[in-house]
């Protein structure tokens, strides 16, 4: 398992968080679980980088936070995407795809 | 962006709530992780341990979250400020020394700045001052602002470019209220539209309006200033409607001007305003200047408001065409013919002070900037020494993980706080200093009134220089002190200096101080020496014991009144007899002029060579020369027989006149002509500077009263007394009273005071620059002392070794003092050329203020350098002695 884990390139974490929140409002724990799950354990988000990222995104106004009740009936801080966050997600997704495509083409050179 | 600001603000002000939320959020995450691990079969303790390990440091994450929220910077800043407070209050001596030296620098700058502000830039307290323009005329770079009444009237009535054009003329009024004389009251004649143009409303009664300004001498009405209302009427509400007499005519008081209003001239404070049409009454010494089409005196100032959309150049062209239609003629000659008309912005009002004092004030500004530089260098030296002492503290903080930037910021905050403290004290000092400086401005007949209350511009200036100096003197020591190799500094507090060459910055600062002070001292020396040269006087002649007084018997201020000259002559001769009889009077005489008010005719005399020469022709009475200490080179003074109108025409001439007229031949007994009248020269006196202090003495012909037909007959009485003049003065008053009961005696001054009033610019600059020079010397002395004392402590071991190896105490003393001398030598090597360069650059500004010497005067430069060297030796002696007392064994054991 450990060998499958890779480090995230700079800025990718923000994109993943935004994408995860685009589906539904979530709290921090669920975000990291979701990313790990969907990436089949390749991407593991550390608490030490997840929460600063969440606070940074909140400051930029791309996500907003409110306190809610979690599935196990505890108070948890939920984040949801704002309108400008959604636009940001679209932009970043497009940029990422372009980059991935380009890098792929270069790597596939014969 | 807005979101970002709001977010940061919330982060700052709701800190506790947010801290709690952050804790909860992270705790929730931790709990969920523990749950997950327990589901995989770990025990609770194992799960907690595992989760903590997996998730990394909780505090570190929190800190990163705070940083992400943008709290950290502001919060750290608050921390630094609190810390700086603690540090500074723990060392009150250091804080006081730095604050004081900065306060002197900042205070001096703020004082000069607030004077410049009050004289140059303060906005007139009238409606829309930015729309005002002052009409001036002149050619090249020199423009003046007076017009004849005819020019004013034509421009007012026919111009297309101004909404209105008002006129005013300052005048000294002879006011009496209920029979009580007030011989010199500063007043102003104003046109009927003056107050409406300025938009100034009276606080009681009504303002002078155009209906009051229609016919010459037609409307004897007056407005009084708020100040005069208080001074002469004790703020009696019923003053409007009462009367006062001006030159004998009764004027009705119709209104009171607002307290802040002072007319349009900064520095003046007229107390009485009367319509321009009252000129013949209130200015009896002058002829009627309203109707006479050929009179040529340019006595009214013209002040207008541009119509909207009219450009200044266009307006000037329009007005110039009108002004040219009424060019005044002096004989066949029209002095204004080649001049152009220009509009000056009126926003800050107008001021003769501005012309007279702008150069001295800007020179003083330059001087105080130098003082500030020295104060900064001094402060930086102190900070550097202190930062060195705190080196282990910094090393400790660096070792504990503080970043260098944070330490630099901490030190900068400390120096900024010192600068702000210095700035606050400086503003207080400035208030007091500016008042002290205004005492120098000669008030003449009218008091100079300047608004020196600190306004936003002055405060902004003080704040600005405080912050700039704070960064300036704080940055270098901060950068130096925090450049530490971690291991070395924690181990030893002081030894690093020897290796790191830490004294070098201190030495550079000392050299800067020496160089700047030398420039300052040389400047101060030049000004002081030229004042001395201007003031040089006859040996043994005491100016303090000569009283100069103005006497104006009735009618002396009027022209060509039949029989007046004879009557005045009788009064004056009688007065001189009475005064000479007063006990304590050594001699008495009269002359038409005083050093502060040069009056006298000017005539053209034909020289033997055929050339013409202008000569100054004042009236004098016998005894003048003896009283004022002008010696006779040949011949005699006037005698009683020379004074009558029908006596042969005689004259006493000065040396310059005698030489121009007769070359090397003796002039006494010779004749010369004024017009067709032959005069005999009965005496030649040495040139005196009393008629022109700064330039060359004009050729002068002194003549008896009745033999000179200039019309007016005001004279000044000169009395030389033995002992204290104040004791003789009451008896002089009695003598004047017994000669003529109605004769006012005023402007009583000693000759020394008269001359001081003439030399006010020179005195102002000499006094202020030399006191700043002394201040600079003190600062340099303290700075050098501090640096050397510090160096001696740092080099204790080296000294110990030297002494152990056989150096004598004197070797050590010399070693330390030599260091000081080297610093002075380098500083001087920079300072002297800098002073020369500064003198060259400012030559057109200062040459007018230097008398009898150039800015390169070697004696002054040598004196300044010697003084500075002496101070350096004094400053270094104490540390040197301390170094020589080092016990080698103690010193070596020390480390």
DSSP sequence for B357-408? HHHHHHHHHHHHHHHHHHHHHHHHHHHHHHHHHTHHHHHHHHHTT--HHHHH
In this structure, are residues A47 and B55 in contact, taking their beta carbons and an 8 Å threshold?
Answer: yes
B59 in reach of chain A (CB within 8 A): no
Q: Which of B324-333, B749-758, B879-888 has the lowest mean pLDDT?
A: B324-333
B317/B307 Cα distance (integer angstroms): 14
CB atoms closer than 10 angstroms to residue B410: 21
- If pLDDT is split at 50, 70 and 90, which confidence band does B352 have? low
- Judged against a pLDDT cut of 90, whether residue B41 lies above it is answered with no
Biggest distance spanned by C-alpha atoms of chain A = 56
Averaged pLDDT score across all residues of chain B: 81
In this structure, are residues B201 and B232 in contact, taking their beta carbons and an 8 Å threshold?
Answer: no
Name the architecture of domain A2-107.
Answer: Orthogonal Bundle (1.10)
Average pLDDT over residues B656-665: 88
Q: Which of B24-33, B434-443, B618-627 has the lowest mean pLDDT?
A: B434-443
- Judged against a pLDDT cut of 80, whether residue A6 lies above it is answered with no
Backbone torsion region of residue A6, taken as left when φ is above 0, otherwise alpha when ψ lies between -120 and 50, otherwise beta: beta
| Cβ–Cβ below 8 Å for A59 and B8 | yes
- If pLDDT is split at 50, 70 and 90, which confidence band does B252 have? very high
- DSSP letter at B849 equals G
CB < 8 Å to A51, chain B? 25-26, 29, 61, 64-65
In this structure, are residues B725 and B750 in contact, taking their beta carbons and an 8 Å threshold?
Answer: yes
B566 in reach of chain A (CB within 8 A): no
- Pinpoint the alpha helices (H) of B242-351: 279-282, 312-324
CB < 8 Å to A52, chain B? 61, 64-65, 67-68
B225/B258 Cα distance (integer angstroms): 7
| Cβ–Cβ below 8 Å for B67 and A52 | yes
Model pLDDT for residues B674-710, shown as the tens digit of each residue: 877 888 999 999 888 777 776 678 899 999 988 876 5
B68 in reach of chain A (CB within 8 A): yes
| Cβ–Cβ below 8 Å for B28 and A58 | no
Using CA coordinates, name the residue in chain B closest to A46. Answer: B55
Amino acid B72: pLDDT: 61
- Judged against a pLDDT cut of 80, whether residue B598 lies above it is answered with no
- Judged against a pLDDT cut of 90, whether residue B99 lies above it is answered with no
Best mutation target, A55, A56, A63, A78, to test chain B (most B CBs within 10 A): A55
Structure tokens at B770: 């030399």
Amino acid B191: pLDDT: 93
- If pLDDT is split at 50, 70 and 90, which confidence band does B490 have? very low
DSSP sequence for B484-545? --HHHHHH-SSTHHHHHTTHHHHHHHHHHHHHHHHHHHHHHHHHHHHHHHHH---TT--GGG
What are the backbone angles phi and psi of residue B305, rounded to the nearest 5°?
-125, 130
In this structure, are residues B439 and B764 in contact, taking their beta carbons and an 8 Å threshold?
Answer: no
Q: Which of B369-373, B393-397, B722-726 has the lowest mean pLDDT?
A: B393-397
Amino acid B194: pLDDT: 93
In this structure, are residues B157 and B143 in contact, taking their beta carbons and an 8 Å threshold?
Answer: no
Structure tokens at B589: 């005489």
Question: Closest by alpha carbon to B860, among B608, B625, B607, B521?
Answer: B521
In this structure, are residues B631 and B664 in contact, taking their beta carbons and an 8 Å threshold?
Answer: no
Predicted model pTM: 0.66
CB < 8 Å to B17, chain A? none
Question: Closest by alpha carbon to B657, among B620, B604, B708?
Answer: B604
Q: Which of B80-84, B202-206, B215-219, B485-489 has the highest mean pLDDT?
A: B202-206
| Cβ–Cβ below 8 Å for B55 and A52 | no
Q: Which of A55-64, A100-109, B61-70 has the lowest mean pLDDT?
A: B61-70
| Cβ–Cβ below 8 Å for A52 and B4 | no
In this structure, are residues B190 and B300 in contact, taking their beta carbons and an 8 Å threshold?
Answer: no
**Contact map slice: B 26-45 vs A, CB within 8 A:** 26, 28-33, 35
Amino acid B560: pLDDT: 59
B67 in reach of chain A (CB within 8 A): yes
Model pLDDT for residues B267-312, shown as the tens digit of each residue: 777 889 999 999 888 877 666 777 665 556 778 889 899 988 888 8
B20/B685 Cα distance (integer angstroms): 98
Structure tokens at B530: 């030229």
ipTM score here? 0.86
CB < 8 Å to A56, chain B? 68-69
| Cβ–Cβ below 8 Å for A52 and B65 | yes
- If pLDDT is split at 50, 70 and 90, which confidence band does B494 have? very low
- DSSP letter at B350 equals B
Structure tokens at B1: 């962006």
The H or E element containing residue B573 is helix B564-580
Model pLDDT for residues B197-238, shown as the tens digit of each residue: 988 899 999 999 999 988 888 889 999 999 889 888 888 888
Question: Where do the structural domains in chain A lie, given as residue ranges?
Answer: 2-107
B436/B418 Cα distance (integer angstroms): 26
A49/A33 Cα distance (integer angstroms): 14
| Cβ–Cβ below 8 Å for A48 and B56 | yes
Q: Which residues are CB-neighbours of B475 under 8 A, at least 6 positions away? A: B408, B412
CB nearest to A48's CB, from B24, B35, B64: B64
B568/B715 Cα distance (integer angstroms): 10
Amino acid B141: pLDDT: 63
CB nearest to A59's CB, from B4, B55, B57: B4
Structure tokens at B394: 């910094």
Model pLDDT for residues A21-51, shown as the tens digit of each residue: 998 898 888 898 888 888 888 888 877 788 8
Question: Closest by alpha carbon to B346, among B97, B165, B564?
Answer: B165
Amino acid B251: pLDDT: 93
- DSSP letter at B673 equals E
Average pLDDT over residues B571-596: 90
In this structure, are residues B287 and B120 in contact, taking their beta carbons and an 8 Å threshold?
Answer: no
SS3 B701: strand
| Cβ–Cβ below 8 Å for B68 and A56 | yes
| Cβ–Cβ below 8 Å for A75 and B7 | no
Using CA coordinates, name the residue in chain B closest to A47. Answer: B55
- Judged against a pLDDT cut of 70, whether residue B712 lies above it is answered with no
């Amino acid at each position: 398992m450990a060998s499958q884990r890779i480090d995230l390139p700079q800025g990718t974490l923000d994109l993943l968080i935004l994408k995860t929140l685009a589906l539904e409002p979530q709290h921090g724990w669920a975000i990291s679980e979701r990313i790990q799950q969907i990436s089949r354990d390749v991407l593991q988000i550390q608490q030490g980088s997840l929460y600063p990222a969440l606070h940074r995104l909140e400051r930029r106004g791309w996500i907003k936070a409110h306190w809610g009740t979690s599935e196990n009936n505890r108070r948890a801080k939920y984040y949801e995407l704002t309108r400008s966050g959604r636009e940001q997600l679209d932009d970043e997704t497009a940029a990422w795809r372009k980059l991935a495509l380009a890098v792929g083409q270069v790597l596939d050179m014969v | 962006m807005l979101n970002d600001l709001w977010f940061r603000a919330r982060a700052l002000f709701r800190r506790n709530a947010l801290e709690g939320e952050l804790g909860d959020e992270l705790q929730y995450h931790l709990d969920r992780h523990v749950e997950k691990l327990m589901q995989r079969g770990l025990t609770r303790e194992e799960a907690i341990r595992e989760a903590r390990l997996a998730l990394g440091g909780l505090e570190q994450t929190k800190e990163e979250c705070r940083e992400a929220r943008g709290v950290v910077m502001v919060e750290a800043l608050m921390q630094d400020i609190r810390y700086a407070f603690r540090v500074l209050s723990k060392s009150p001596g250091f804080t006081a020394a730095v604050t004081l030296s900065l306060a002197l620098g900042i205070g001096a700058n703020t004082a000069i700045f607030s004077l410049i502000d009050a004289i140059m830039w303060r906005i007139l307290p009238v409606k829309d001052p930015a729309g005002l323009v002052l009409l001036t005329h002149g050619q090249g770079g020199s423009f003046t602002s007076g017009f004849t009444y005819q020019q004013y009237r034509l421009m007012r009535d026919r111009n297309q470019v101004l909404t209105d054009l008002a006129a005013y003329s300052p005048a000294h009024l002879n006011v009496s209220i209920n029979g009580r004389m007030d011989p010199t009251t500063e007043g102003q004649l104003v046109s009927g539209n003056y107050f409406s143009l300025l938009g100034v409303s009276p606080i009681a009664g009504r303002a002078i309006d155009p209906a009051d300004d229609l016919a010459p001498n037609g409307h004897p009405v007056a407005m009084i200033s708020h100040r005069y209302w208080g001074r002469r009427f004790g703020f009696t509400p019923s003053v409007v409607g009462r009367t006062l007499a001006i030159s004998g005519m009764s004027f009705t008081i119709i209104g009171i001007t607002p307290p802040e209003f002072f007319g349009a001239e900064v520095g003046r404070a007229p107390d009485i305003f009367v319509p321009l049409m009252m000129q013949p009454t209130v200015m009896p010494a002058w002829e009627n200047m309203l109707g006479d089409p050929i009179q040529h005196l340019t006595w009214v100032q013209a002040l207008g408001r541009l119509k909207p959309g009219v450009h200044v150049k266009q307006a000037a062209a329009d007005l110039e065409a009108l002004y040219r239609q009424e060019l005044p003629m002096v004989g066949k000659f029209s002095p204004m013919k080649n001049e152009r008309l220009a509009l000056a912005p009126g926003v800050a009002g107008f001021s003769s002070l501005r012309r007279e004092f702008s150069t001295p004030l800007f020179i003083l500004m330059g001087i105080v900037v130098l003082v500030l530089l020295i104060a900064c260098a001094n402060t930086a030296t102190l900070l550097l020494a202190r930062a060195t002492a705190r080196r282990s503290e910094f090393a400790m903080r660096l070792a504990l993980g503080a970043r260098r930037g944070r330490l630099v910021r901490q030190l900068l905050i400390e120096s900024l706080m010192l600068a702000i403290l210095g700035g606050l004290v400086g503003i207080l000092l400035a208030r007091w200093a500016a008042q002290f400086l205004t005492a120098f401005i000669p008030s003449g007949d009218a008091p100079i009134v300047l608004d020196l209350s600190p306004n936003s511009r002055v405060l902004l200036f003080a704040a600005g220089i405080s912050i700039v100096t704070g960064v300036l003197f704080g940055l270098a020591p901060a950068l130096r002190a925090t450049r530490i190799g971690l291991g070395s500094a924690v181990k030893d507090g002081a030894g690093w200096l020897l290796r790191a060459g830490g004294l070098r910055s201190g030495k550079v600062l000392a050299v800067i101080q020496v160089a700047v002070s030398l420039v300052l001292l040389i400047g101060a020396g030049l000004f002081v020496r030229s004042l001395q040269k201007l003031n040089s006087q006859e040996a043994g002649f005491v100016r303090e014991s000569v009283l100069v007084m103005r006497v104006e018997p009735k009618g002396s201020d009027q022209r060509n009144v039949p029989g007046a000259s004879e009557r005045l002559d009788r009064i004056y001769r009688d007065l001189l007899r009475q005064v000479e009889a007063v006990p304590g009077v050594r001699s008495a005489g009269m002359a038409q002029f005083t050093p502060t008010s040069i009056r006298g005719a000017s005539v053209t005399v034909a020289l033997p060579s055929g050339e013409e020469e202008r000569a100054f022709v004042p009236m004098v009475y016998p005894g003048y020369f003896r009283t004022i200490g002008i010696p006779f080179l040949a011949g005699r003074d006037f005698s009683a027989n020379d004074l009558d109108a029908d006596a042969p025409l005689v004259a006493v001439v000065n040396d310059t006149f005698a030489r121009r007229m007769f070359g090397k031949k003796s002039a006494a007994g010779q004749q010369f002509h004024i017009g067709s009248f032959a005069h005999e020269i009965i005496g030649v006196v040495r040139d005196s500077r009393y008629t022109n202090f700064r330039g060359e003495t004009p050729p002068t012909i002194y003549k008896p009263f009745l033999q000179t037909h200039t019309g007016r007959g005001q004279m000044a009485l000169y009395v030389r007394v033995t002992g204290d003049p104040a004791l003789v003065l009451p008896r002089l008053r009695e003598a004047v009273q017994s000669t003529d009961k109605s004769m006012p005696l005023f402007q009583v001054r000693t000759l020394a005071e008269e001359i001081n009033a003439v030399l006010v610019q020179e005195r102002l600059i000499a006094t202020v620059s030399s006191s700043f020079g002394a201040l600079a010397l003190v600062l340099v002395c303290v700075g050098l002392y501090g640096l050397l004392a510090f160096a001696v402590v740092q080099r204790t071991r080296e000294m110990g070794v030297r002494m152990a190896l056989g150096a004598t105490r004197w070797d050590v003393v010399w070693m330390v003092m030599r260091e000081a001398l080297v610093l002075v030598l380098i500083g001087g090597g920079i300072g002297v050329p800098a002073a020369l360069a500064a003198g060259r650059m400012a030559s057109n500004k200062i040459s007018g203020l230097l008398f009898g010497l150039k800015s390169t005067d070697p004696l002054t430069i040598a004196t300044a350098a010697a003084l500075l060297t002496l101070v350096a030796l004094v400053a270094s002696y104490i540390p040197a002695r301390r170094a020589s007392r080092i016990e080698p064994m103690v010193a070596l054991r020390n480390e």
